[in-house]
Amino acid sequence: MMMIMTSENDYLTKLKRAREKLPSHVFEKSRFEIPTADVFPEGNKTWITDWNRILKVLNREEDADHLAKHLAREFATSAVEERGRLVLQGKFSKKLINRELETYVKEFVVCEECGKPDTKLIKEGRILIKTCEACGARVAVR
């Protein structure tokens, strides 16, 4: 029995030493990268041409309306989904749209606790709760 304990301790010591030799970034959390939307102006409209891809990356295919309404409200315009693309009334630069997308992702998609984008928006009464499926964190959002 004592022999086993000793060899186990030896093993753990060796493991600890091996881990200490590894570069520190190996243990860092992988960082989620916010997608950049492709933006195409057409007359007095602005298209987000890869809308479906954005929704997929953000895991928001079921909550597309929330993001579309958010963009429409921030730009004081209307937003309509059309065959996998989003069309905004008015002219908005790629930079402006992506800055707003980034703001949205930080507030409504990425988990504050673990930094992962594996969240869902769940309505509880009049409150919207961002619930993380990776770590279980729950945060009320506006």
* Token pair of 54 as six digits: 């954005």
In contact, 89 and 82? CB cutoff 8 Å: no
- Mask for 83-122, x = binds Zn ion (CB under 5 A): ----------------------------x-xx--------
139 binds Zn ion (CB under 5 A): no
141 binds Zn ion (CB under 5 A): no
Q: Rounded distance, CA 61 to CA 65, Å?
A: 9
Segment near Zn ion (CB under 5 A), from 10-18, 55-63, 82-90, 126-134?
126-134
Burial of 122 (0-12, 13-18, 19+ CB in 10 A): exposed
Radius of gyration over every alpha carbon of the chain, rounded to an integer in angstroms: 22
CB of 24 to Zn ion, least distance (A): 22
In the complex, the residues that contact Zn ion under the rule CB under 5 A are 111, 113-114, 132, 134-135, 137
